[in-house]
Structure 1
Amino acid sequence: MAKHIIQVEEKPPILKAIPLSVQHLFAMFSASVLVPILFGISPSVVLFMNGIGTLIYILVTGGKAPAFLGSSFAFLAPAGIIIATKGLGYPYALGGFVVSGAVFCIVAVIIRFCGTKWIDVILPPAAMGSVVALIGLELSGSAANMGGLILSDTYTQIDPKKITVFLITLGMAVFGSVLFRRFLAVIPILIAILTGYCVAWGMGMVDFSAAAAAPVFAVPNFQPARFDWNAISIILPATLVVVSEHIGHQIVTGKIVGRDLLRTPGLHRTMLGDGLSTMISGLCGSVPTTTYGENIGVMAMTGVYSVWVIGGAAVLSIAISFLGKVSAVIQSIPGPVMGGVSFLLYGMIASSGVRLLVDQKVDYSRSRNLAMTSVVLVTGLSGAFVQLGQVKLTGMSLGAVVAMLLGLIFWIIDKLHAANDYDDSAEAAE
C-alpha cells in the first residue's frame, strides 16, 4: 500500500496537525538552539524569531514552498570573530546579519528579472543530484557525533548507554516508518524521539536541573543591531554559503513534493522570504535563518508536505519562546536521541540526491557526467576548503561552487562544439 501523501496546500484536521507540527518542532529544535548557545545569547529570542521568520516565508511564498527556517550555522565563524573583537561585540554581528539578509533580498530581485534558466546551465542533473546528496552526506558526521559514535571533544570515549539510546531511537524511526500504519505512519520521528527520551530518562541520562531552575514564563531578550563596516565585511562572505545552500534545499524539496519550486512559487520568492527573515531576525537580536535540512528530511520520510503543519510548528516555536520550563525540558533531550533521528533524516536528503540522478536518467557513459559527479562529491567530502576573508567555504557550499563552475565550463565547451561527445541533435532539439 502506497504512502498517503498530504500535499503542500492540504490542511489536516487539528487533532492530526498538532502532533505533526510537534514532530517538525522537535526535528529542528536541538540544532536551532545550539547556535544561540554558541553565541552566548538566550535561545528564547531565536525560537521566537525562527517562528516569525517561518511564517513570513510562508506568506511571501504564498504557502507554496514548505520549509521551516531555523538558525544558520554558516555565520558561526565570522560572528564569533566580531563577538571577540574589542570595541565590537554581538550587536555589531547583528548589523552584519541585517545587511546579509538585505543582500539575499537583492539577489531575489535579480532572479525575478533574470529568471532561473541559468540554473539549468550551471547545475545540470549530474551536478544537481550530487550537490543535493552532499547536503545530507555533509551533515551525517554531526548526527554520528551527537549519537556518540565518534570520539571528539564532546565524547572522549564510547559510552554504551549513548550507543544504546542512539540505536533504539534510530531503530524506532527506521522500523516505525516501515511497520506503523494509519496515522502512526506519519509520525515515526515524533514516536522515535519520545521513545528515545524515555529510554534515556530510565538510564539516568536526562538532566532536569536546568528545567527546574527555569522560570515558567520568560520574555525573549530582544536587542537592537548596530552597524560597522568592518563587522559587515566579515559577515558578508557567508551570504554566498547560504545562497548556495538555499538553492540546493529548494531543489531537493521540489523533488520530494513533486513540484518545481524554482518556478512556482519561484526561487525569487523563496529567497526573498529567507532574506526578510534574516533581516528581521538581525534587527531583533536573533541569528540568521535558513531553510532546515532536518525538516526537509521529515517531509521526505513521512509524506506530509503541508505548510499548515509547518506553520503550526512555527506557532509552537513562538509559544515555547515564552515558556521557560517547556523550552528547558525540550533542550534536555540527550544528544544520542537527536543523533538517532538525524542519522536517518540526513540520509533521506542524501538519498533524494541519488533519486534525482536516477529520475533524470543521468548517462554516466558520458565522461562529463562521470567527471562532474566525481569531482563534486570528492570536493564536498574531502575536507577541502577555500578561505574568503573570515569565512571558510567548504563541504556542500564549496561543492556547489565547483559544480557551478564545471557546469558553466562544459556549457561553453558545448557552445564551441569542442566536446568529444557533442550531440548536434540535442542542440537542435533545444
Structure 2
Amino acid sequence: MEKKIIQVDEKVPVKMLIPLSLQHMFAMFGASVLVPFLFGISPAIVLLMNGVGTLVFIVVTKGKAPAYLGSSFAFLVPAGLVIEKFGYQYALGSFVAIGFGGIIVALIIRKFGTKWIHIVLPTAAMGPVVALIGLELAGNAASNAGLLDEVIDPKNVIVFLVTLGVAVFGQILFRGFLGVIPILIAIISGYVAAAACGILDFTEVVQASFFALPNFQYPKFNLEAIMTVFPALLLVVSEHIGHQVVTSEIIGRDLLKEPGLHRTLFGDFFSTMLSGLVGSVPTTTYGENIGVMAMTGVYSVQVIGGAAVLSICCSFLGKLSALISTIPGPVIGGVSFLLYGMIGTSGIRLLVDGKVDYSRSRNLVLTSVVFVTGLSGIALKIGNVEMTGMVLACVVAMAMSLVFYILDKLGLTNDQPQK
C-alpha cells in the first residue's frame, strides 16, 4: 500500500500537527542555528525571525507553496568581511539592501513572467542543478556526523548508524501515523543512543534561563558594505529557483506558475529584509525541509506553519532552545544523510519524468558539464563573493543554454528535432 499523501492545502488534526511540525523544526534546527553561531550572535533572534519569515512567506504565497525559511549560508563570506571591517550592524544594513534588491527582482519577474526560465534552464540543465542542491551537501552531513574527522570516534559512528538506520528502515517498515514521522522518530532514537554513549552535554541547558527576550539590533548602512554583500543576490535567486523546481516536482504542482515565482521570491526576500531590520540573518527556503516532504509525503502548509510557531516559541524559551541545541552532530548527520540524498534523487527524477532525450548532443553536454562543474570544487570569485557548487553550475547551465538558444535561432545547430 502506498503512503498517503497529505497535500499542500490539507488540514491535519492537532494530535498529528504537533509531531509533524516538530519534525520540520528539528530538521532545520542544526543548520539554521549554525549561521548565527558563526556570526557571533545569539540564535534566539534567528529562531524568532525564521518563524516569522516562514509565516510571512505562507501569507505572501497564499498558502500554496510549502517552504520553511531558515538561515542562509550564501552570505557567510561577504558578511564576515563586513562584520570584520564595519561591525555587525552594517552587515544588517546589507541584508536589508539584499532583501530590497530581491523584491525588485520579484517585481520584474511578475512583469515579464517565467517563460525565460525554460529557455535558460531546460530540463537537461535543471535536473542536475536540482540534484546538486542535495549532492553538494553530502560532505556537510558526513562532517556533522564526525565521519570526516582525522580520528573517528566509535561513539559518533554508533549514534550516526542508529539515526540513519531508523530513518531508512522506518521509511519502509513504519505504518499508519508512524510512517509519516520517521525523521522525528530517528532523531529521538539517535538522541537516546547519544545519551547511552555518554556524548550529551547539558551544561548550556543548566545555565540557560527559562524565559529570555531575543537580542534585537538595528541596521546601519554603508555603500561599501552593501556592495560587498550585494553580489550574493545572484546566489540566492539561483538557489531559490532550484528549490521551487524541486518542490514542484515533489508535490506534483508547478509553483513557478501558482502561486508564481514572483510571489515565492517576494516572500523569501521580504523575510530577509525584515530579518535585517531587527538583527537577524538572511533567510532562504531550506533544503532539509524539502527533504522531509519528499520522504514523508506530507506537504501541508499548516504543518510548516506549525513548525514556524514552534520556532518562535523556542526563541523566548531559553531552556527549551538550549535543550534542542544539545542534539549532537551524529544525529543531525544521520538524518541529513538521507534527506540530502532525497533532494539529489528529485533532480534525477526531473530528468526521468521530463523524458530527456540524450541522443541529442545538447542534452548530453548540458547535463555532463553541469554535474562536473557542481561537483568539481572549482570556484568563480566576483569581488568578495565566491560562486561554487550548485550556484556556479546554475550560472554555467544558464550561459550554455542561452548560447544554444541563440545558435538555434541562427539555424547553426545540428541536433534540432526533425519536423
* TM-score, length basis structure 2: 0.99
Partner of residue 136 from structure 2, selected from 120, 135, 138? 138
Paired amino acid for 2:74: A
Partner of 2:30: 30
Partner of 2:207: 213
Partner of 1:301: 295
**Shift, 1:413, TM fit:** 1.3
The answer as to 2:311 corresponding to 1:317 is yes
Partner of 2:235: 241
CA distance in 1, matches of 2:373, 2:151: 30
CA distance in 2, matches of 1:203, 1:165: 8
CA distance in 1, matches of 2:62, 2:334: 34
**Shift, 1:414, TM fit:** 1.1
Partner of residue 102 from structure 1, selected from 100, 103, 110? 100
The answer as to 2:375 corresponding to 1:377 is no
Paired amino acid for 2:371: L
Paired amino acid for 1:150: L
**Shift, 1:423, TM fit:** 2.3
Partner of 2:82: 82
After TM superposition, where is structure 1 displaced by more than 2 Å over at least 4 residues in a row? none
The answer as to 2:270 corresponding to 1:276 is yes
Question: What secondary structure sits across from 2:316 in the alignment?
Answer: coil
Question: What secondary structure sits across from 1:321 in the alignment?
Answer: helix
**Shift, 1:198, TM fit:** 0.6
Partner of 1:419: 413
Q: Which consecutive unaligned segments of at least 5 residues does structure 1 have?
A: 426-430
CA distance in 1, matches of 2:319, 2:69: 23
Question: What secondary structure sits across from 1:393 in the alignment?
Answer: strand
Question: What secondary structure sits across from 1:173 in the alignment?
Answer: helix
Partner of 2:352: 358
1:17-416 aligned within 5 A: 17-85=17-85, 88-151=86-149, 156-416=150-410
CA distance in 1, matches of 2:416, 2:406: 12
Deviations along 1:54-87, one digit per CA (max 9) or x if unpaired, are 00000000000000000000000011111111xx
CA distance in 1, matches of 2:277, 2:100: 12
Partner of 1:13: 13
Paired amino acid for 1:49: M
* Range that drifts further, 412-421 or 377-386: 412-421
**Shift, 1:424, TM fit:** 5.0
What is the aligned-residue identity percentage?
Answer: 66
Paired amino acid for 1:79: A
Paired amino acid for 2:15: L
Question: What secondary structure sits across from 2:137 in the alignment?
Answer: helix
Deviations along 1:33-72, one digit per CA (max 9) or x if unpaired, are 0000000000000000000000000000000000000000
CA distance in 2, matches of 1:226, 1:32: 24
**Shift, 1:399, TM fit:** 0.4
Deviations along 1:103-124, one digit per CA (max 9) or x if unpaired, are 1100000000100000000010
Paired amino acid for 1:126: A
Paired amino acid for 2:359: S
CA distance in 2, matches of 1:422, 1:380: 27
CA distance in 2, matches of 1:219, 1:318: 11
**Shift, 1:380, TM fit:** 0.5
CA distance in 1, matches of 2:158, 2:67: 32
CA distance in 1, matches of 2:151, 2:368: 34
* RMSD of equivalent CA atoms: 0.6
Deviations along 1:95-151, one digit per CA (max 9) or x if unpaired, are 000000001100000000100000000010100101000000011110011111213
CA distance in 1, matches of 2:404, 2:243: 24
* TM-score, length basis structure 1: 0.97
Deviations along 1:316-369, one digit per CA (max 9) or x if unpaired, are 000000000100111010000000000000000000000000000011111111
Question: What secondary structure sits across from 2:284 in the alignment?
Answer: strand
Q: Which consecutive unaligned segments of at least 5 residues does structure 2 have?
A: none
CA distance in 2, matches of 1:183, 1:417: 57
Paired amino acid for 1:221: N
Paired amino acid for 1:329: L
Question: What secondary structure sits across from 2:110 in the alignment?
Answer: helix
CA distance in 1, matches of 2:405, 2:162: 48
